[in-house]
Each structure stands twice: as C-alpha cells, then as structure tokens.
Structure 1
Amino acid sequence: MAEKRPIWTKSFINISISTFFIFVVFYALLTFMPLYVLNDLGGTVTEGGVAVSIFLLSAIIMRFFAGMILEKFGKKKILMIALFLFAVSTAFYVFVGSFTVLLLLRFFQGIWFSLVTTVAGAIAADIIPPERRGEGLGYYGIAMNLAVIVGPFIALTLQQYISARIIFIVLAGIMIIGFFCALAVKVEKEPVSKNDKHKMTINDFLEKKSIPIATVGFFISFAYASILTFISVYTESLGLIKAASFFFVVYAIAMLLVRPITGRLFDTIGPSVVIIPSIIIFGAGLISLSFADSSWMLLASGGLVGLGYGTLLPSFQTIAIRAADKHRSGYATGTFFALYDSGIAVGSVSLGIIAGIVGYSNLYLMLGIFVILIVFYYMWMMSKKHASSH
C-alpha cells in the first residue's frame, strides 16, 4: 500500500494562513462598510448597500479574466502582485473623503480581491496531492469559513473603541502579514503563455467543464445570501439579536467537527455521498430557521447550516478543479467563483425584495425547500456527466 503524501506542507500552511487573512479583511470591511458610510461619510443605508455591491461587481467581472491572466503571467507572480495591491487599497481607505472616492476604491479593491482569491485557490489545489484533493481543499476551506466569524468580530469590536481610520490601518497591517506568508509559498514552475496573437474564445474566460458544478454552486450561494445578508435583521425582529452573535460560532464548530470526516469520504467513496446529505442538511437548517422562536432553535439552525453548507463549498470547488486539465486549475477556480459570487450578489438583491413581500420567516421556509430540490438537479447533472464519460 502506497504511503499517503502529506497535505500539511509548509506551502499549504502558508497559503491557507494568507487566505485566512484575506477573508478576515474582506468580511471585516463587508460588515463595517455600511456603518462607515452612515457614521463617517454621512450617507444613507442605500449608499451603504451600494458600497458593498460595487466591490462584488468588480470581483465578479474580474473572475472571467482571472484564468487567462494566471496562464499568461504565472500564479506566484500574480499572487504577490494581487496581495500587495489588495493590502495597499485597504490602507487607502484612510484617505477617503467622499462617497464617490469610496466607490472608486471599492471597485478597484474588488479587482484584486477577485484575482488573489482565484490564484490562492488554484495554488492550494496544485499543492495538495491529487488523490487527497477533497480532504485538502476541505481543510483549506476552513480558512474562509473561520474568517466569517473573525472578520466581523474584529470590525464590530474595534469600532466601539477606535476611529474608522485606525481600523483601516489595523486591517492593512493584517494584510501585510498575509503578504509575508505568501512569500513562503512554493509554486511548481509552469509554462507561461507567450502566444498573444491567438483568436480569443470562450475558453479564455471560462472552463466549460467546470460550469455544471458551478451552476449548482450558484443556486446554493443564492440561498446562502439570505444568511449573510438578513440573519441580523431577522433575529432582531424575533428579539434574538444577542443569540445571533453566536449563530456563526455554532456554525463554525459544527463545520470543524465534520470537515476531516467529509473530506476523507469525498476522496475514498466519492463526492455524492458527501454532497447529497449536505444539501439536505443545509435545506433543513434553513427550514428550522424559519420556525425559530427561541435561542436554542436559532443556534440549532446554525449548527445544521454549518454541517451542510460548510461542507458544500470546498466539495464543489474540488469537483470544478477535477473536471479541468491540471494546467487550467486557474480557469476552473475562476469559473466556479464567478458563478458562486454571482449567486450571492443576485440573492442579496432579489431575496430582499421577496422578504419585503412574504416576510423573513416565509423566505427561509421557501429557500429551505428550494435547496432540498437542488439535490435532484445535482443528481441529474452527475448522471449526465457519468453517461457522457462512458
């Protein structure tokens, strides 16, 4: 029996830590931006939403060019440039004096966030032994999931004691640490594309083989947008705002408990044995959230969402990368996250309109049923893929 090649190499640890810091800053800014617009720039709630949306817009647009850029210039070079400019743009918030300047900076920063997260995910996938990719990307995904808790915690805690400018300096300092971690990442030398005269095709923007699983990711992230965007408003309406601060803590604990097991099952038995139960559990979490009337029900819902959704993102990413040729891991990562980010963006806007009509409780019930029905779409997609491979 062949000895298992290790996942936890120096490069894997450093790319994971660097990714953690990137997402800590991303979620801290996501949480703090509406407050900053209201309190420091004298803006409105709507303008706070626009400041969040314009960042996502530039990030989504850039996803479609990321694979081509990585192939042309090389992953390590783009990792360092994008990390540096993401850190610099974080520091530039200190000099923002108007809402217009803020929007320009948010758009600029979204470009580098998109590039750095695409290249970091592609490098992580390349570093992990192919036979352990499901398990390895599961561990890598923990960096993003933990940042959901740490980022908002830092932003909401610091804003009680220090000015917005000092908060931006602290976040820029966090990114500098992430930059130095990335310096220690060793990337396998790869051929860099020199052909500038070839005719542009869809393959320069997307990895077609990764689109089917990316569409599943779109539907799941569309539903998850309801958690990211409305959980605080919903819990406040229920009088459970204090318990809401522990929602993502329970979510993270549940995710951490199952991640090592689900990663190994993914690699040894296959993706469906992990993905189908996870989709159902995520749907059940949304349905239980719709009936939450006490702190324990709210936290139980957080646990179910963590067990379900927390497993799905790295699983989908692994399938997207496996579907592509090795040299196109950047395209596969970019394609997956383009659709995933689009799901969050579309969900954040459209679900707010729906919630205004049916109420948050009914919204979560409808989304829970919708998520469970995604199982049938996933099964149809996998059976189609299996049939085409034969």
Structure 2
Amino acid sequence: MSIISFLGCIDLTIVNTAAPAVQRDMGATVTELQLIVNVFIVALSMFMVTMGRLADRYGRRRVLYTGTAVFGVASLAAGFAGDVRTLILCRFVQGAACAVLYTSTGALVSDTFPPQQRGRAIGALYGVNGLGLAIGPMLGGLLVGWLDWRWVFWLNVPLTAIGLAVCLSAVRESREHSAAAGKPDWPGLTLISLALPALVLALTLGDAWGWTSVRILGLLALGIAGVVAFCVVERKVTAPIVDFRLFGNRTFLGALTADFSLAFFYCLAFFLMPLYLVSVRHYGSTASGLMLLPCTAVMALLSPVVGRLVDRVPPRLLLCAGFVAFALSAALQAQFTRDSHVAFVAAAFALMGIGWAFVLGPATVAALSAVPERLAGTAVGSSWTFHNLGGAIGLAVGMAVYRWSARDALDAALAARHVPGGEWAARAVADPGAGAELLRAHTGWDGRDVEALAGDLFLRGNQAAMWLLCGVAGAAFLAIGAGMRARRGTPGAKSADAVAG
C-alpha cells in the first residue's frame, strides 16, 4: 500500500521537472503547462471525499484496486498522448483515480494493524508519502535526461502492477458498518466540484482570455457563488465534507492553515524552479534534477528527525520554524540571476527542504491532536482538502502574478526602444518557447538581445512570484504563531469535541 500511495504523491510533483521538455516537444504554452499540473490537483480535490465515501460503502480494498488500475491506465495513456489536450485529459483522470490512492490506503493501513502498532504504521505510510512528494522533481529530471518525458508517466505502470500484486495477497477487505457510512454529501460534493474548477480555471486563463471577458467573469461568479453556497450547505448536513464547527478549535484551524500554505508554496515553487534552471541557466534535464537534490534530500533526511521531535515539542513551534525557512528560501530565490552561484541556488533550495520537513508531518499531527478520535477521519479529510486547495490556488495565483510582472517588464523594454506592443507581447510572455521568435519577428533584434530579454522577463516574473511566496510564508507564520496558542484551561481535544457537539 505504501507503493500505491507513493505513486499518488510522486505524481503530484514529478511532472514539474518534465514541463520544459513537454513544452519543447508539444509547443505547450505556460498556461497549458499550468493546466497539466493544476488539473491533477483539481481532480484530486473534487473526488477525494467522494472516493472515501464510496470506499466506506463498497469496500476499501475493492475501490483501491479499481482506482489503482484506472491510475495505471491513465498513466499509460498520458505517456502516449499526442497533443496537449489529450495530456490534460489524462492528467484529470489520473487525479481522480489518485483520490482513491490517498484515501483508501490510509483507511486500510489503520484497519490492518492492531491499535498498538497503528500509529507507527500510519507514520510509515505518511513518511513514504512525504518522500514521494519530495523526490518527484528530482526523479522527473533524471527520467527526462536519461530517457524521455513520457517515462515520467510510464514509470507508474510497472509500479502499479507490483503494488497490486503485493496487495492482492496481503490486504483484507474492510468497510464502515455504521449507519452514517457511505452516505455522500451530494449537495456539498456538487457545489465544490463546480466551484473549485471554476475558480482555478479563471485564475489560470485570465491573461489568455482577458480578465474582463464574459467567460472569466462568469467563471469567477460561478466559483464565488459555489463557495458561498458550499459553506451554507456544509453547516446543515449531518456528514459534511468540511466540518466548519471544528474551526472553533484554534489548533485545528492552525493545522489547516499550515497545510494550505504548504501546498500553496511548493506547487508554485516547484513549477518555477525547473523552468529557471532550464530556461535561464540552460541546464539539461539531468542537471536540473540533480540541482533539486538539496531540497528533496534535506526533506527526506529531516522528516524522521522532525517526526521524533513532534512527541516532545509543540507542533506550533515546529510549524513556525518551517515557515521561517520557507520565507528565507523564497527571499533568496527572489534574488536569482543568470549568474547566481551554484552554492547560493543550492542553499535556497535546501531551505525549502527544511521548511517542508518541519511542516508536512507536524501539520497532520496537529490536526489529529486537536480533535477527538471519533473525528479523526474528518480531520484528515479536511486537512487533505485544504492542502489540495492550497496547491491549486497557489499555482494559479502565483503564475498570474508571474505573468503580470513579466508583461510589465516587456512593456517597459519595448517602450524604451520605441517598439509597439500588442497581442503578440502577451503571447510572448505566456509562451517562452515561442516568445523568442515573436520578439525577433516584431522587434528585429538579434539573437543575443532576444535571449537576454527572454531571460530578464522570466527573472522578473519569478521574482514577483517568490515575493508572493515570502508573504504567504510570513502570513502563515503569524497566523500559526498567534492562533495556535491554546487558551488557558481549554485543552485542544476537549474544545474540539465540544465544538463538534
């Protein structure tokens, strides 16, 4: 089950390092690359709770096997995709199937082991999950460098077969037998399934379609109305997707803030870091993957240490330390230039790994410790929902900031040389691969000037995005540092239990 769960986590980040190769091979724009990454997170968020409820009703092992098989087939199809639209569709199916990989594995591990071994088993499972998230970008770079970007997807097929083969003889069926088991919150599921994609698509396609266009305004209106209606509905149903009554517990709210901010940070950072290494520093895919090793290796090495610290140090302190490291990493990455020393780049990436290790595990522990045991499933489901939501929104908002800043830099450069802009300038920013040709065609500059300007545009956009991440990390630090201080005489679990009725 760790192998199967690992596949779901690694697929969340492995595609980012392959993005430049996909762009070269398919002529994808930056917006299309965003969709390739983001549609996976959107599908994951849309179907996670649904798949969890289906597993409870029809059997977790049965649903796990079905979802894993679909994930393997979608991975195979993604590797054979002949155009960007097909690849985006395959990524959506992957994300929907991956929702099963996340939910059923945790429930099955919990049911398989006796109570005295359950904590250690679940900790091992989440440790493998964290390793998958962290190692994805490095492994993606190595696969693209040694083989081809399509192997980023084809790698899943044999691992899926191995995971299923082991589980067939080792995992027994389990399902929830309570009266409330498997009764999906269909109104809530419908609303969040409409609202989340609408908001993410609006933020992703705003520059391409125009922020005042009818389509973008319609998507924003649908998304906002859906979120408001979702909040109203969830307060009235008996088995909500997100139990807002738990938000009265400060520790639980701090844990959700940490999960949301963590995914906001790494989904955007891991999208831009490989592009910086390939587009600005002109590293190959293998070199780019190795350059990401300071982040992934530090995260993998520190996670067990942090796991032991959680038992002795309040999660609030560990989370605050993690977001300090995130803020420092973003501040350093905002200073990147073409000629930044390798040690400087490695230090910035290593700080991100430190932050990741100090946030991922303690956030889950904080969420579980804030609620009574009977609400553990709700706590984990809410935690993952906000984690995925943070990743989808982070990439969409961050890349919108990136494009705005890069477009301002391009307009200033064109104005300085008295070159008229226009629609082509927006396309040059949205598609760095075709941007050089557009600049040559509309400006008449030589290749060296065009390459220098293209690098400057990326650095300006990257700088703006990193300052955004620095602000997000700082806001999370303040919210967690102040919000997770327990009120005197109000133990976390008792407070949560009282809030939840």
Give yes or no for TM over 0.5.
yes
Deviations 1:36-68 (A, max 9, x none): 57635x655533433333232221111242442
Provide the rounded CA distance (Å) in 1 between the counterparts of 2:332 and 2:19: 30
Provide the rounded CA distance (Å) in 1 between the counterparts of 2:361 and 2:374: 20
Aligned length: 371
User: Residue type of the partner of 2:3?
Assistant: I
Could you say which residue in structure 2 is the equivalent of 1:61?
46
Kept in 2, the 8 Å contact 1:18–1:182? The answer is: no
Could you say which residue in structure 1 is the equivalent of 2:484?
382
Which moves more between the two structures, 296-305 or 191-200?
191-200
User: Residue type of the partner of 1:338?
Assistant: T
Give the drift of 1:298. 0.6
Which moves more between the two structures, 179-188 or 47-56?
179-188
Question: Does structure 1 residue 159 correspond to structure 2 residue 261?
Answer: no
Which moves more between the two structures, 356-365 or 277-286?
356-365
Could you say which residue in structure 1 is the equivalent of 2:239?
203
Give the drift of 1:323. 3.9
Kept in 2, the 8 Å contact 1:90–1:172? The answer is: yes
Provide the rounded CA distance (Å) in 2 between the counterparts of 1:303 and 1:197: 43
Residues 20-39 of structure 1 aligned to structure 2 (within 5 Å): 20-29=6-15, 31-32=17-18, 35-36=21-22, 39=25
* Aligned residue among 230, 250, 253 for 2:272: 230
Distance 1:80 1:319, change over 3 A: farther
Give the drift of 1:175. 1.9
Could you say which residue in structure 1 is the equivalent of 2:315?
271
Q: Secondary structure at the match of 1:285?
A: helix
Distance 1:134 1:260, change over 3 A: farther
Gaps of 5+ in 2: 186-236, 406-459, 496-501
Question: Does structure 1 residue 260 correspond to structure 2 residue 304?
Answer: yes
Distance 1:206 1:310, change over 3 A: same
Residues 260-299 of structure 1 aligned to structure 2 (within 5 Å): 260-292=304-336, 293-299=340-346
Residues 1-390 of structure 1 aligned to structure 2 (within 5 Å): 15-29=1-15, 31-32=17-18, 35-36=21-22, 39=25, 44-93=29-78, 96=81, 100-124=85-109, 127=113, 129=117, 136=124, 139-140=127-128, 141-159=130-148, 164=150, 168-183=153-168, 186=171, 189=174, 191-193=176-178, 200=185, 201=237, 203-208=239-244, 209=246, 212=253, 213-236=255-278, 239=281, 241=283, 244-292=288-336, 293-324=340-371, 326=373, 329-358=376-405, 359=460, 360-383=462-485, 387=490, 389=494
Q: Percent identity?
A: 19
Give the drift of 1:74. 3.7
Give the drift of 1:361. 2.5
Provide the rounded CA distance (Å) in 2 between the counterparts of 1:282 and 1:197: 39
TM norm structure 2: 0.63
Provide the rounded CA distance (Å) in 2 between the counterparts of 1:329 and 1:315: 15
Distance 1:329 1:241, change over 3 A: farther
Which moves more between the two structures, 172-181 or 101-110?
101-110
The structure with more radius of gyration = 2
Kept in 2, the 8 Å contact 1:64–1:335? The answer is: no
User: Residue type of the partner of 1:250?
Assistant: P
Gaps of 5+ in 1: 1-14
Distance 1:20 1:39, change over 3 A: same
User: Residue type of the partner of 1:278?
Assistant: G
Q: Name which structure has the greater RCO, CA cutoff 8 Å, separation 6+.
A: 1
Provide the rounded CA distance (Å) in 2 between the counterparts of 1:197 and 1:174: 30
User: Residue type of the partner of 2:147?
Assistant: L
User: Residue type of the partner of 1:287?
Assistant: A
Which moves more between the two structures, 179-188 or 113-122?
179-188
Give the drift of 1:332. 3.1
Distance 1:364 1:272, change over 3 A: same
Give the drift of 1:305. 1.0
Kept in 1, the 8 Å contact 2:34–2:396? The answer is: no
Which moves more between the two structures, 304-313 or 89-98?
89-98
TM norm structure 1: 0.79
Provide the rounded CA distance (Å) in 1 between the counterparts of 2:314 and 2:276: 37
Provide the rounded CA distance (Å) in 2 between the counterparts of 1:173 and 1:304: 34
User: Residue type of the partner of 2:483?
Assistant: M
Deviations 1:313-367 (A, max 9, x none): 2221233344455465444333222211221111112112212344223432442
Q: Secondary structure at the match of 1:383?
A: coil
Deviations 1:82-128 (A, max 9, x none): 11211122223466555554444332222111221233244456658
Give the drift of 1:32. 4.1
Kept in 1, the 8 Å contact 2:139–2:289? The answer is: no
Give the drift of 1:197. 10
Which moves more between the two structures, 46-55 or 123-132?
123-132
Which moves more between the two structures, 234-243 or 99-108?
234-243
Provide the rounded CA distance (Å) in 1 between the counterparts of 2:399 and 2:119: 42
Kept in 2, the 8 Å contact 1:64–1:334? The answer is: yes
Provide the rounded CA distance (Å) in 1 between the counterparts of 2:108 and 2:93: 23
Could you say which residue in structure 2 is the equivalent of 1:7?
none
User: Residue type of the partner of 1:63?
Assistant: M
Which moves more between the two structures, 97-106 or 150-159?
97-106
Distance 1:180 1:26, change over 3 A: farther
Distance 1:61 1:47, change over 3 A: same
Provide the rounded CA distance (Å) in 1 between the counterparts of 2:152 and 2:351: 33
Could you say which residue in structure 1 is the equivalent of 2:443?
none
Kept in 2, the 8 Å contact 1:51–1:106? The answer is: yes
User: Residue type of the partner of 1:280?
Assistant: V
Kept in 1, the 8 Å contact 2:17–2:289? The answer is: no
Kept in 2, the 8 Å contact 1:58–1:107? The answer is: yes
